[in-house]
Amino acid sequence: MKKIIISGGGTGGHIYPAVAIANELKAIDASNEILFVGAEGKMEMEKVPKAGYKIIGLPIAGINRSNMLANLGLPLKLIKSLWKTYRVIKDFKPDIAIGVGGYASGPTLIMANFLGVPTLIQEQNSFAGVTNKFVAKKAQKICVAYPNMEQFFPKEKIIMTGNPVRKDILETNSKREQAFKHFGLDPERKTLLVIGGSQGARTINEAIFAGLNDLISNDLQVIWQTGKIFINKAKQGVESLQTQRVFVSDFIYEMDLAYAAADLVVSRAGALSVSELCLAEKPSILVPLPTAAEDHQTQNALSLVNVKAAWLVKDVEARDILVDNVVKLANDKQEMQLLSKNIKTLAKPEAGKEIAAEVLKIIK
């Protein structure tokens, strides 16, 4: 039995890979004991227990760039978080601590290093996060999903594993019939899947809303995840068209079925979304979130665009040209096949297993 701390979170892009790593470690040996450390009030405090794991919250927070006065309490929060992590590590006695990025992984890995616990980092993005760059110096291994990461990390510590994602996305081809039944759509029609991350994406939503008529008149049907903020407006738009060809929801839990039904996808370019699109082998138009830290979503998108594995539409241009691009791609069978073929070569289906194997190697 090994004892493992996994720390980080803040967004689904950090949490889902963390849970995937935990699941692989449990699959290797069910007696492995895993404890998560997250940030109080963040989504990991809800999502991790749902996945069946215990989590402890730290009073840590990120820098508030819109209200600098709100940052006055940060040093105290950091001290409290370091002290709480010290006690957690002393009590739990982990064999290793894994950091996946996000606020909580900083104090956890700093304290693990201080107490002589070996550490491993998993960096999801093509542009490394501030926390991971800071704690990388003392990490034993750094698992990455993109090439050229030696600009951020010591080259000898880097292992190219890809991002671990949920297993059900690997078996979408056999679920196509079930998927169309689930969403109430026509299996004979081309299907566009629109996803803007777990919170929804305003620019994408507004572009799709304005172009619904164009999509329908070009014989497309749509599966549209809007996020909570836009759902009512989206439903009104669909109702006013009186069409059965748009399935709209604030959140899609059955993402394996959504990918199974989709012929092409419009998505943000978060690390996890990009990894899922590679595994699902879907022709995609990526609309990076321009306010993402260090503009990392644009870097993620370009890693596909540069090898002709996806199209890119800038957020600032999406309202004007996104729907036109969707129609153009949907009507170009050859280009769709090329994107699908090229994106498949970037998939890393064994990422979770490889990271779990590295973790156990370090412990030994």
| pLDDT tens per residue across span 170-226 | 778 889 999 999 999 999 999 999 997 556 689 999 999 999 999 999 999 999 999
Q: Which residues are annotated as a binding site for UDP-N-acetyl-alpha-D-glucosamine?
A: 11-13, 125, 166, 198, 252, 271-276, 297
* Count of helices and strands (H, E) across the chain: 14, 13
Q: What is the pLDDT of residue 293?
A: 74
Q: What is the pLDDT of residue 168?
A: 81
What is the biggest distance separating any 2 CA atoms in the chain, rounded to whole angstroms? Answer: 63
What residues does 99 pair with on adjacent strands?
7, 121
Task: Give the residues of the chain that fall short of pLDDT 70.
Answer: 63-71, 197-200
What is the CATH architecture of 168-344?
A: 3-Layer(aba) Sandwich (3.40)
Q: What is the pLDDT of residue 103?
A: 85
Q: What is the pLDDT of residue 282?
A: 95
Q: What is the pLDDT of residue 197?
A: 58
Which pTM does this prediction carry?
0.86
With 0-12 CB in 10 A as exposed, 13-18 as middle and 19+ as buried, what is 26?
middle
Distance separating alpha carbons of residues 21 and 124, to the nearest angstrom: 13
Q: What is the pLDDT of residue 119?
A: 98
What residue spans define the domains of the chain?
A: 3-163+350-363, 168-344
Q: Are 30 and 64 in contact (CB under 8 A)?
A: no
CATH superfamily of 3-163+350-363: Glycogen Phosphorylase B; (3.40.50.2000)
> What values do phi and psi take at 100, rounded to 5?
-110, 10
Structure tokens at 85: 């992590």
Q: What is the pLDDT of residue 69?
A: 67
CA atoms within a 13 Å half-sphere pointing along the CA-CB vector of 344: 9
Q: What is the pLDDT of residue 70?
A: 67
Q: What is the pLDDT of residue 312?
A: 98
**250 by DSSP, 3-state: which?**
coil
CATH topology match: 3-163+350-363 vs 168-344:
yes
